[in-house]
């Protein structure tokens, strides 16, 4: 589909230069770009990832992704914050896949919380099968964030207390309704209005996390919106 879309884009540009109705040209261009995003998303989702996993610094990857989005101006509409805790263990993964997952989650948060708060963080964490309240480096000493316990998705090889890395993206948007949390990572499932989003961004995140031996879930953020969390076992464990 990539070649036909490229050809359509070329013809639209010809029409624009020949004085076609600007509103029509803009509308067609917008829809062609949306189709292109869908095709690219499908390719990313379907493409097998055969490279071997290697030890990597998740904090460094998160800093790189944050810096990239900052340089592009994507973070300007929100109050963005980067939280990288000290002594984060190395994890097994692929840097480009982790970066893609982080960027997708941050873009999702930017869309959910325009003008609000978006937090990207990485910390050391011991895996638990229940939703224990996470302590961030930016939290006050006596901070308390109670929330009802609930099971999180797990991999059969994970055991309680397994040390690893937790990467999270939290926002102050409306959050994800509890009834949608089981489906939010399914391909083409979206809670956005028609024409906004492809329904593939979170599916690509889930595929990337699973391919790197991790697990991803959505929780309620203390900022009031959604908190997407990715856990990966520490390298060598």
The pair of three-digit structure tokens given for residue 31, joined into one six-digit string: 């829809």
pTM of the predicted protein model? 0.72
10-residue mean pLDDT series, the chain (237 residues): 69 81 81 65 60 91 95 94 95 92 94 95 86 55 48 63 94 89 79 63 87 90 90 86
> CA 226, 154, 43, 69: dihedral to nearest 10 degrees?
40
**What is the pLDDT, as a whole number, of residue 169?**
97
**What is the pLDDT, as a whole number, of residue 14?**
80
**What is the pLDDT, as a whole number, of residue 199?**
65
**What is the pLDDT, as a whole number, of residue 149?**
43
The pair of three-digit structure tokens given for residue 52, joined into one six-digit string: 């071997």
The pair of three-digit structure tokens given for residue 102, joined into one six-digit string: 């982080």
Task: Please say whether the beta carbons of 165 and 142 come within 8 A.
Answer: no
pLDDT in tens, 115-155: 999 999 999 999 876 654 555 565 555 544 444 444 445 56
**What is the pLDDT, as a whole number, of residue 28?**
80
**What is the pLDDT, as a whole number, of residue 46?**
59
pLDDT in tens, 201-220: 888 898 889 889 899 999 88
**Can you tell me the distance from the alpha carbon of 54 to that of 36, in angstroms, rounded to the nearest whole number?**
32
Q: Which residues of 71-93 are buried (b: 16+ CB within 10 A; e: fewer)?
A: eeebbeebebebbbbeebbbbbb
**What is the pLDDT, as a whole number, of residue 1?**
53
Task: Answer positive or negative: Cα dihedral of 216, 121, 208, 176.
Answer: positive
- Burial class for 95, CB neighbours closer than 10 Å (0-12, 13-18, 19+): middle
């Amino acid at each position: 589909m990539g070649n036909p879309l490229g050809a359509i884009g070329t013809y639209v540009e010809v029409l624009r230069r020949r004085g076609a109705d600007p509103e029509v040209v803009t509308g067609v261009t917008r829809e062609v770009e949306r189709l292109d995003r869908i095709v690219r998303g499908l390719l990313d989702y379907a493409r097998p990832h055969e490279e071997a996993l290697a030890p990597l610094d998740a904090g460094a990857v998160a800093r790189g992704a944050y810096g990239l989005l900052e340089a592009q101006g994507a973070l300007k509409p929100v109050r963005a914050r980067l939280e990288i805790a000290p002594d984060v263990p190395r994890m097994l993964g692929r840097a480009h896949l982790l970066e893609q997952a982080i960027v997708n989650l941050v873009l999702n948060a930017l869309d959910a919380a325009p003008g609000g708060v978006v937090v990207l963080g990485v910390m050391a964490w011991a895996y638990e099968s229940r939703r224990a309240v996470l302590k961030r480096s930016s939290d006050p000493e006596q901070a308390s964030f109670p929330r009802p316990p609930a099971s999180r998705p797990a991999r059969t090889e994970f055991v309680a207390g397994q040390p690893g890395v937790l990467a999270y993206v939290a926002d102050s948007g409306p959050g994800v309704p509890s009834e949608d949390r089981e489906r939010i990572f399914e391909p083409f499932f979206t809670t956005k209005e028609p024409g906004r989003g492809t329904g593939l961004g979170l599916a690509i995140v889930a595929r990337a996390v699973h391919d790197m031996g991790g697990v991803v879930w959505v929780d309620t953020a203390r900022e009031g919106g959604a908190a997407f969390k990715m856990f990966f076992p520490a390298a060598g464990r």
